[in-house]
């Protein structure tokens, strides 16, 4: 009988049953051993073979590259008056890594706050640094010093340093704030500079801690922020902005500096500008414009140097540094006189100051300067009637070309423009630079050149005789800037050379060595002859020096002034007003000067602008008070 619950196997079958579990155990053990082998191998690779690589990576994560901004170059007038520079005052700094208190951050914050409160009170200033300010600095910029006090006067600095002796980690540095010592002088020309937005900086990715440069925002500060050639060659002269330096520091896990890894790489500081502007001429030009909206330009007629370029009203550059005050900026924007506009570079209808150029076109076309026209007060072109300035008195009577310029007669100009036609007038205007930018270093308007295609686009009609009549007296489709007016006036004075005007005479380094000097540049020549120029020059002489010349208010005893007045009607019928002008040139002590004056909403060029020219020239050249 078989026992219940048990089975009988042969010895071979029993051996097979006993071997299978052991085989499974052996295979499983082998797999576990392989797994441990892989782990051990990986550990070996990570801890032994790759340890140097990881140490280097950890080191890199602990190294901070700190940007050191350069010092911005200065801007001087031609007589070396400082127009834009950098503060000579000092800032008081705290170095957080030297002010740490034990292992608790709150103690460090309290220590810094206590020190800041003490030195601020000692300097005599209100305490503005808060615990939140300190914590924010330690969170985001623990590797950089904390600026506690800015632009300390010498007495403030002395008191602050005396108190600072009881604390560690306190130092001073030169303040980098931009300063404009002359305030409003040449404000629209100089422009302003402020700290660059790091997010917009081209080298932001090169540094862990980014301390920005001052960047030009307008005027010469913007135009000479960087020189074009410095972008292509590292050895080329720098503009006002220099090249940054840097330092490499090792920080701990909290970001505090543990060690300086290299000697500080010093920045290359920016270069200085020496302008063509004569500070005395600029100051007088701004004084004679005070109380009006207008512009005044004075050039050296023999090379194009800008000696003065005043726009009124101006604004105080001191209010734009280190940042523009919000209330002051709002005030400027709301001011109906628009002080932020540089009127020297703004385009206006020229009126009769264009007549000397139109007269050249007449002479080029064979009209004799002795030909006479009877002015009866108005000219008729088709169905239109254009008045002359003397229409109330029945006109100027019989005039030749010089008489027409002296009395600013519209009838004479209109009658001869109909004979000569549009083409010869346009040729002279183009040669004088009308409708193109002068090439000045800062942003300018090009004005509007009279053009049949332009009129077609603007009004949908072709150029006609009426347009030519308006053009002959400086009205209609044409605008010029005061700088353009001064440039073509200089050409009338110097024999026909149209110079490119310049504001900058030289770029110099900190030691005064000239790196780049301005060379006079001829842009074009007036399309005319020497004989024609002499006739027009005589007419401009009569404008000022005859008893009934339109610019007789510009006459100054001891000076031989040539000029031309102008008044242009602009605006709607309900808001009609005059843009008034006076252009002039003269030679004094072997130097030829040319200039233009424009006043918005003046009475006339002879009454609003000519007297300003006389006052300026009397005070500037004759030094009369």
Residue bearing tokens 């020189």: 227
283 & 431 share domain = yes
Q: What is the Cα Rg of the chain in Å?
A: 39
76 & 222 share domain = yes
Averaged pLDDT, 536-540? 98
Cα distance from N-terminal residue to C-terminal residue, the chain: 150
Burial call 464-481: b when 16+ CB within 10 Å, e when fewer: eeebbbbbbbbbbbbbbb
pLDDT score at 176: 82
Q: Residue 208 sits in a domain of what CATH number?
A: 3.90.1310.10
* pLDDT reading at 331 higher than 60: yes
Among 275, 298, 315, residue at a domain's last position:
275
121 domain-assigned = no
* pLDDT reading at 516 higher than 60: yes
Cis peptide before 608 (omega within 30 of 0): no
43 domain-assigned = no
Averaged pLDDT, 375-390? 90
Averaged pLDDT, 399-413? 96
485 domain-assigned = yes
pLDDT score at 392: 85
Phi first, then psi, for residue 159 (nearest 5°) are -65, -40
Domain range for 246 is 65-86+177-275
pLDDT score at 248: 76
The two tokens of residue 38 are 């892989």
* pLDDT reading at 18 higher than 60: no
Mean pLDDT score of the chain, rounded to an integer?
89
Angle at 495 between CA 493 and CA 499, to 5 degrees: 75
292 & 246 share domain = no
* Minimum mean pLDDT range among 31-45, 279-293, 353-367, 609-623: 31-45
pLDDT score at 4: 47
The two tokens of residue 381 are 């072109």
Averaged pLDDT, 442-468? 93
268 & 358 share domain = no
- More confident call, 487 vs 10: 487
- More confident call, 132 vs 51: 132
* pLDDT reading at 58 higher than 60: no
pLDDT digits (tens, 9 = 90+) for 458-468: 888 999 999 99
33 domain-assigned = no
How many domains does the structure of the chain reveal? 3
492 & 366 share domain = yes
Averaged pLDDT, 547-575? 93
Using a 10 angstrom Cβ sphere, with 0-12 exposed, 13-18 middle and 19 or more buried, the burial of residue 31 is: exposed
CA–CA dist 129, 121 (Å, integer): 12
CA–CA dist 552, 559 (Å, integer): 13
74 & 100 share domain = no
Q: Residue 461 sits in a domain of what CATH number?
A: 3.40.710.10
13 domain-assigned = no
Using 50, 70 and 90 to split pLDDT, how confident is the model at 527? very high
Total length of the chain: 625
Residue bearing tokens 């797994």: 35
Residue bearing tokens 């339109």: 550
Q: How far is CA 280 from CA 190, 275, 360, 442, in A?
A: 16, 13, 35, 21
256 & 301 share domain = no
Using 50, 70 and 90 to split pLDDT, how confident is the model at 11? low
Nearest CA-CA partner of 481 in 522, 452, 504, 448: 448
Sheet holding 591-600, edge to edge: 306-312, 294-300, 591-600, 577-588, 562-570
Whether 351 contacts 567, CB under 8 Å? yes
293 & 425 share domain = yes
pLDDT digits (tens, 9 = 90+) for 191-247: 999 888 888 888 888 877 788 888 999 999 999 999 887 666 667 788 999 988 887
526 domain-assigned = yes
pLDDT score at 99: 87
Q: Is 498 helix (H, G, I), strand (E, B) or coil?
A: strand
pLDDT score at 559: 97
Inter-helix orientation angle 530-545/482-494, to 10°: 110
pLDDT score at 51: 55
283 & 233 share domain = no
Among 275, 295, 322, residue at a domain's last position:
275
Whether 357 contacts 498, CB under 8 Å? no
Q: Is 461 helix (H, G, I), strand (E, B) or coil?
A: coil
CA–CA dist 228, 114 (Å, integer): 49
CB atoms within 10 A of CB 309: 31
211 & 283 share domain = no
583 domain-assigned = yes
227 & 354 share domain = no
Averaged pLDDT, 273-279? 98
197 & 296 share domain = no
* pLDDT reading at 137 higher than 60: yes
List the helix and strand counts (H, then E) for the chain.
18, 25
Q: How far is CA 290 from CA 293, 328, 556, 565, in A?
A: 8, 20, 21, 20
pLDDT score at 257: 66
Averaged pLDDT, 409-437? 96
Residue bearing tokens 């610019």: 551
354 domain-assigned = yes
CA–CA dist 212, 539 (Å, integer): 57
């Amino acid at each position: 009988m078989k026992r219940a619950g048990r089975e009988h196997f042969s010895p071979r079958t029993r051996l097979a049953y006993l071997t299978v579990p052991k085989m499974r155990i052996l295979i499983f053990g082998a797999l576990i051993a392989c797994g441990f082998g892989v782990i051990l191998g990986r550990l070996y690779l990570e801890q032994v073979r790759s340890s140097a690589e990881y140490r280097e990576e950890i080191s890199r994560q602990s190294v901070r590259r700190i940007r050191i901004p350069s010092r911005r170059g200065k801007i001087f007038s031609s007589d070396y008056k400082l127009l834009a520079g950098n503060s000579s005052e000092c800032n008081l700094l705290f170095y957080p890594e030297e002010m740490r208190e034990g292992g608790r951050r709150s103690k460090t914050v309290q220590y810094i706050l206590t020190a800041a409160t003490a030195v601020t009170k000692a300097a005599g200033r209100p305490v503005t640094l808060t615990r939140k300010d300190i914590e924010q600095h330690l969170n985001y910029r623990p590797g950089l010093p904390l600026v506690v006090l800015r632009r300390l006067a010498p007495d403030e600095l002395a008191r602050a340093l005396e108190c600072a002796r009881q604390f560690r980690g306190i130092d001073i540095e030169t303040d980098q704030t931009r300063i404009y010592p002359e305030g409003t002088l040449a404000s629209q020309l100089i422009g302003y500079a402020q700290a660059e937005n790091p997010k917009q900086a081209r080298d932001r990715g090169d540094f862990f801690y980014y301390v920005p440069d001052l960047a030009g925002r307008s005027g010469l500060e913007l135009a000479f922020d960087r020189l074009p050639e410095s972008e292509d060659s590292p050895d080329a002269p720098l503009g006002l902005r220099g090249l940054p330096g840097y330092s490499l520091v090792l920080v701990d896990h909290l970001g505090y500096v543990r060690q300086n890894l290299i000697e500080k790489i010093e920045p290359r500081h920016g270069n200085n500008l020496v302008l063509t502007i004569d500070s005395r001429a600029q100051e007088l030009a701004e004084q004679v414009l005070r109380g009006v909206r207008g512009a005044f330009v004075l050039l050296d007629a023999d090379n194009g140097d800008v000696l003065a370029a005043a726009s009124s009203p101006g604004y105080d550059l001191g209010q734009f540094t280190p940042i523009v005050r919000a209330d002051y900026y709002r005030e400027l924007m709301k001011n109906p006189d628009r002080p932020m506009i540089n009127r020297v570079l703004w385009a206006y209808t020229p009126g009769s100051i264009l007549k000397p150029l139109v007269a050249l076109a007449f002479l080029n076309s064979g009209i004799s300067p002795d030909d006479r026209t009877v002015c009866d007060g108005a000219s008729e072109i088709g169905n239109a009637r254009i008045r002359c300035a003397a229409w109330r008195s029945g006109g100027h009577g019989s005039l030749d070309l010089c008489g027409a310029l002296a009395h600013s007669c519209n009838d004479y100009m209109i009658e001869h423009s109909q004979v000569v036609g549009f083409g010869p007038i346009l040729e002279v205007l183009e040669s004088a630079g009308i409708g193109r930018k002068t090439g000045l270093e800062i942003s300018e308007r090009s004005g509007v050149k009279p053009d049949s295609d332009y009129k077609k686009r603007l009004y949908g009609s072709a150029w006609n005789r009426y347009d030519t009549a308006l053009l002959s007296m400086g009205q209609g489709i044409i605008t010029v800037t005061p700088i353009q007016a001064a440039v073509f006036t200089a050409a009338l004075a110097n024999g026909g050379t149209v110079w490119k005007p310049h504001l900058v005479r030289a770029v110099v380094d900190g030691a005064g060595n000239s790196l780049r000097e301005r060379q006079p540049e001829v842009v074009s020549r007036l399309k005319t002859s020497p004989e024609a120029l002499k006739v027009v020059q005589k007419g401009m002489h009569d404008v000022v020096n005859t008893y009934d010349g339109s610019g007789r208010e510009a006459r100054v005893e001891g000076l031989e002034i040539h000029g031309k007045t102008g008044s242009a009607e602009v605006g709607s019928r309900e808001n009609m007003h005059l843009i008034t002008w006076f252009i002039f040139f003269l030679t004094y002590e072997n130097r030829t000067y040319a200039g233009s004056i424009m006043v918005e909403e003046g009475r006339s060029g002879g009454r609003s602008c000519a007297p300003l020219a006389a006052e300026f020239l009397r005070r500037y050249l004759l030094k009369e008070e």
